[in-house]
Amino acid sequence: MTQKFSGSELLQMAIQLEKEGKEFYTAVMESVKDPKAKEIFQFLANEEVKHEEIFREMLSKGQDVMLSLPYDDYEMLLYFKSLVDRKIFPGSSDVKDLKKEMSDPAAALRIAISFEKDAILFFSEMKNLVKTEEQDVIESIIEEERRHIYKILEFKKILGV
């Protein structure tokens, strides 16, 4: 059975995810004292901005997807919303609760790794739903998210945490 799925809704969720990532990394950057840690989290915030721009460009093209799915659009949207609502990155109010942890670079980097893994899950699922010609773009974002994890692990070594 072929269902029409609104790619624009999925892209809006991806844009929101990237905005929340930027907010989180910016808040961490402002909380840590170590100059190298500040540089690390500024880099990660900038990466989220780049991803948001990619999704906005895709959205401007008016993405809609035709898929053969064993479930309906509503179930699909619920699934993706649950991934986003699960707070891959904490929202503004959650950031305040994490303030103490964020001032500790080691804790902030552990949290960041967890968020990046969840983002990979989201984008891996998303890749299966976009047009074939857009799958390379999503795959490149997944690869960047993986590189973020490697960078974070590298930063942990540099910071000695």
Sequence spans of domains, the chain: 2-159
Output the CA–CA distances (angstroms, integers) from residue 108 to 31, 32, 101, 102, 112, in the order listed. 10, 9, 6, 5, 6
Q: How many CB atoms lie within 10 A of CB 159?
A: 15
CA 107 – CA 121 distance, rounded (Å): 22
What pLDDT score does 65 carry?
Answer: 47
CA distances from 111 to 41, 86, 97, 105, 148 (A): 12, 14, 13, 10, 13
Give the predicted TM-score (pTM) of the model. 0.72
Q: Which of 26, 19, 27 lies closest to 48, judged by CA?
A: 19
* pLDDT value for 82: 66
Say whether 5 sits in a helix, a strand or coil. Answer: strand
CA distances from 77 to 4, 9, 52, 70, 149 (A): 12, 8, 20, 14, 27
In the CATH scheme, what is the homologous superfamily, with its name and number, of domain 2-159? Ferritin, core subunit, four-helix bundle (1.20.1260.10)
Q: What is the pLDDT along the chain (161 residues), one digit of tens a residue?
A: 344 445 666 778 788 888 888 988 898 888 888 888 899 899 999 999 998 998 888 778 765 544 445 455 566 666 666 666 655 555 555 555 665 666 788 888 888 898 889 889 888 887 877 777 778 888 888 888 899 899 899 988 988 88
- pLDDT at residue 50, rounded to an integer: 92
